Amino acid sequence: MSKAERKEREREMRRNEIVDAAEKLFSARGYENVTMDDIAKGLEMARATLYLSFKNKEDIYAAVAIRASKIVRRMFQGLNQGGMTGLEKIRFVASTYYGFYERYTGYYMAYYHTGMFDQDSSPELAELKKMRVGSMAIVVDAVKEGMKDGSIRDDIDPEETALIILNTGNSALNLSPVTRLYMETYGLTQEKLYQHTIDMMIRSFENIKKDEKRTRPRPT
């Protein structure tokens, strides 16, 4: 191993060490309550050393969100299996996304957090934006496939529909305190609310023939 290769390896190890430590702090305290000083202190590292690897806290959080994005992409690999209609792919994406939220809540918060996109450009942020656009494209493509195979109405805009799907799904995962109060009052779980939200949304663009509308059973 050359000297340059060894230095690059050490640099990558230090970056991963920083992200590992920051990830734990973000998960325990929340993004807004963690500072660069906190991360440095947790690592017993000089704050200046952090800046050798990352520009600021947003860069570190973007690195955590990149990890989250990679997990989501791996979970979406089931879409590569043949035989699903476009509508079925949308349902798969929605179900898988909830599974990601439930299993990796800390990563979900990093994945969903949008404040970092208001920051200056950086290598981490640029990579994250590319991955997020790629995730959006998966949903857009599924909508287009559904319009082509007849499972989704062909009079809708695929990009606008994909945005509605993503925004509506996230709205059922990021609940306000008053919404949680209503849920508690009526005995509703977040999973049930999410599933019903997705079902109502999908029904709005699902392609249903007139004879199917007459015979289709109502949800219980």
- Looking at residues 137-166, what average pLDDT do you find? 96
Question: What's the CA gap between 211 and 220, in Å, rounded?
Answer: 21
Identify the bridge partners of residue 206 per DSSP, sorted by sequence position: 152
List, for residues 72-108, the tens digit of each pLDDT value. Answer: 999 998 888 778 999 999 999 999 999 999 999 888 8
Percent of residues, the chain, with pLDDT higher than 70: 90
Give the lowest-confidence range in 68-72, 206-210, 211-215.
211-215
Residue 220 lies in a domain: no
Same domain, 106 and 92: yes
Based on the structure, what is the number of domains in the chain?
A: 2
Q: Residue 60: is it exposed, middle or buried by C-beta count within 10 angstroms (0-12/13-18/19+)?
A: buried
Full-model pTM: 0.82
Same domain, 2 and 93: no
Tell me what pLDDT residue 121 has: 61
Confidence of residue 163 (pLDDT cuts 50, 70, 90): very high
Per-residue pLDDT at 203 exceeds 60: yes
Task: Select from 36, 53, 70 the last residue of a domain.
Answer: 53
Same domain, 119 and 177: yes
Q: Find out whether 111 and 169 touch, Cβ atoms under 8 Å.
A: no
Tell me what pLDDT residue 211 has: 46
For residue 26, CA distances in Å to 9, 21, 52, 95, 123 come to 26, 9, 20, 26, 21
Q: Find out whether 23 and 106 touch, Cβ atoms under 8 Å.
A: yes
List, for residues 28-56, the tens digit of each pLDDT value. Answer: 888 889 999 999 999 999 999 999 999 88
Question: What's the CA gap between 199 and 220, in Å, rounded?
Answer: 12
Per-residue pLDDT at 115 exceeds 90: no
Confidence of residue 218 (pLDDT cuts 50, 70, 90): low
Handedness of CA 192, 195, 201, 204 (dihedral sign): negative
The domain that holds 23 is classified in CATH as 1.10.10.60
Tell me what pLDDT residue 99 has: 95
Same domain, 205 and 128: yes
